Structure 1
């Protein structure tokens, strides 16, 4: 089996698995919504995260897999620009949703004497605004990608192009390379900083909660506390996975930015890492009880509106 075919199989498997997992998660939330059951605020964040996963898988996984199987001149100039734009929008919304999820959870579980309590009463009111703001900023900042993407057939004799497999990218000059690297690093670094701070706070809160429960007898609030602890542990796992995969993806993006002659395998590895979180995250959520069951819909976690 050739390396290209092996990479194509990995990309197809990753894309199909991610689409199936995200479809299952999104379908159940939509079904609950139309059955007039009130979704929790965390569920709304996860729905937006699921949509961003779809954009990543459809706009990166499918074209890259097609290129691995030899369809490397399939898209025209407009289609290349659109795919690149939507992929960057999905990446931006993914960053914003994961950051918002982490911050909202630490505000939710924070005790009354914690610093996060200041935002506790107002956090629920700003979830929708924050999600819409994430989409608006992602749509605006992703416009810069339209300038540099191009179809391979449109510029086949242009030596200033980088081969990305299914499309091409214009080579940057030194100044543009640095600016583009800053453009890639800074927003992600800010989100990751917020996630690390909130995750550290969640770990500390869980540790203190465990110590309190060891010295308390069982009471009526124990099941609720246990449920919140499991939800927090799931979000910590999700955020840790997000930070790991997106850090690797960002490092590969910077390498592709500064390298002039790109190898096909480096481009493919970058595509695989950029889709890892979108493929894995729905299964992490469903495995840890963060998704309504397909059969019983886990009515216990929802309130009738």
Structure 2
């Protein structure tokens, strides 16, 4: 089979490799669509922290596909079943895994596409215990975005899903921020404001369900006015902005990973405002179940965010488009099996 393999930072390309065989409790999958994101760019050039990657590796942690064959002992799946699967592979025995929060596993970090072979290949093996069936009447390609959406959902479930009529702001106009707008819109907020920086992305705000959008976080009427602020900017300044936008007694969800080496947040903003600040890392099993349920019922459709699609033979072109700030790219999909999508 063909697989896009990163052998070391700066060394990558499409190679021929053996088709993997599913072992006990595993599924062999044909990926239909694979989302690529900034984490994949970090993987390629060596910026991803060492504990969170294992070279050589096939990237691809955002994906959807169909079952090709099942390993011994697997029930509930058969060839042709459309599916997605959790990426983080928890140990299943530590306290966090026993809580159903395998995304916070205390064991060695393990995730499809970073430490285990990912979906940028014609075939992929995943544990059946982490897989979720999708209905056959729903398009398969957009389901690749359930993974990043699940990261948003995981944080919202930790905080408690916003009540109808809430005032919500999202800081960050990348795919994660726009997915946060989409999910927030499902709770029927009184106001849903996108705070972004790039006009070509802010224009997606209304499509995703925002009531308004701005590129000026200091605009009159924004400070200390939101019940919930979701930060998805991957910048330390975004966290500062999020804290300033939350009302006293409000909540702030920090999704972005800034890589900042020094503190940027004034802790007095938290204590004086009596803010509840919640972090989020990857997606819990509960978040996956929620997202699969919403997608299966047709209540969540991330397809408007898909701006570019490439075959597996053009992964490098897709990565170049993703890295080019002038390309207008939001979500770039690679389609190893485009006829399935």
TM-score normalised by the chain length of structure 2: 0.24
Please say which structure displays the higher CA radius of gyration: 1
Which of the pair is proportionally richer in strand?
Answer: 2
Answer 1 or 2: which has greater helix percent. 1
